[in-house]
Amino acid sequence: MGGWRNAVQEAAASKPLFLTIYTTIIVGIVATSFYVFSAIYSPSASTSTQSISTSWLSSPPLSQNGGSNFSNNISQPTDKASQPGSNQLKTIWEAPPSNSKMPPLESFKLTKELVGERAKDNVIIVTFGNFAFMDFILTWVKHLTDLDVSNLLVGAMDTKLLEALYWKGVPVFDMGSHMSTIDVGWGSPTFHKMGREKVLLINAILPFGYELLMCDTDMVWLKDPLPYLAQYPDADILTSSDQVVPTVVDDRLADWKQ
């Protein structure tokens, strides 16, 4: 206290300007201290602090990249059960009950209603294959669902693949191809038949009135492709080749001349 008294006396003996400065500082310190202590011991402030802490503790942990824990992404379905007239889709990866029976083959027929159940924003993503491509197909579906893309369907070229995908909870339909279940080999007559089946499948889906993204199974989606494709609403057809050397370095369409 002696130090403060001496400071005030010295200020009083000095010029009025310094007295004003000292007085302003002291008043400011007193007012700030009063505000801080009032906020700390206020009941509403205590409740607010507790609410924020509870909210943070109850939130799921985040990974280093800002997303939810990856193990949770694997174990939890990525979409919700559909309701009539809603834009929600039936859950993928939710297997049917083990004590249930396989539905009749006729129920897997490709119809406009079947596509409509899976379509979202009038867009459907489709791939196809036989049982030999099972691992490719599961990888294809897994990467899309990890990206929260669930408006997809898989065309089964043989009954063995259809049944396997059904019991894994993957949306599948019967192409009626009666294809062999083994790897037919690249460039073989059966391989070329698969290419023609793809054309027939596109031709069968387009009249339903949905935008179609047709994909081969030997590809992996690392990013949701639909926002990019939506940048070109005037395009009738967008296609990509197997060319591994990029012709552009940004998000423009490829240079078709190259």
pLDDT in tens, 214-235: 999 999 999 999 999 999 999 9
Torsion of CA 114, 134, 120, 90, to 10 degrees: 70
Rounded to an integer, the average pLDDT of 176-205 is 85
Q: Please state which of the ranges 7-11, 40-44, 140-144, 206-210 shows the lowest mean pLDDT.
A: 40-44
Q: Which residue would you say has higher pLDDT here, 12 or 73?
A: 12
Strand order from edge to edge, sheet including 152-156: 172-174, 152-156, 123-129, 211-214
CB contact at 8 A, 173 and 108: yes
Helix axes 159-167, 134-146, angle to 10 degrees: 40
Query: 60: pLDDT confidence band, cut at 50, 70 and 90?
Result: very low
Give the helix/strand (H/E) hosting 125.
Answer: strand 123-129
Give the helix/strand (H/E) hosting 19.
Answer: helix 16-40
Structural domain spans, the chain: 9-37, 105-226
pLDDT in tens, 116-126: 999 999 999 99
Give the whole-angstrom CA distance, residue 92 versus residue 212: 19
Does position 108 have pLDDT exceeding 60, yes or no? Answer: yes
- Read off the pTM: 0.65
Distances (CA, A) of 30 to 2, 18, 35, 36, 117: 18, 19, 9, 10, 68
Please report the sign of the dihedral spanned by the C-alpha atoms of residue 200, residue 202, residue 205, residue 206: negative
CATH no. for 105-226: 3.40.50
Give the whole-angstrom CA distance, residue 32 versus residue 26: 10
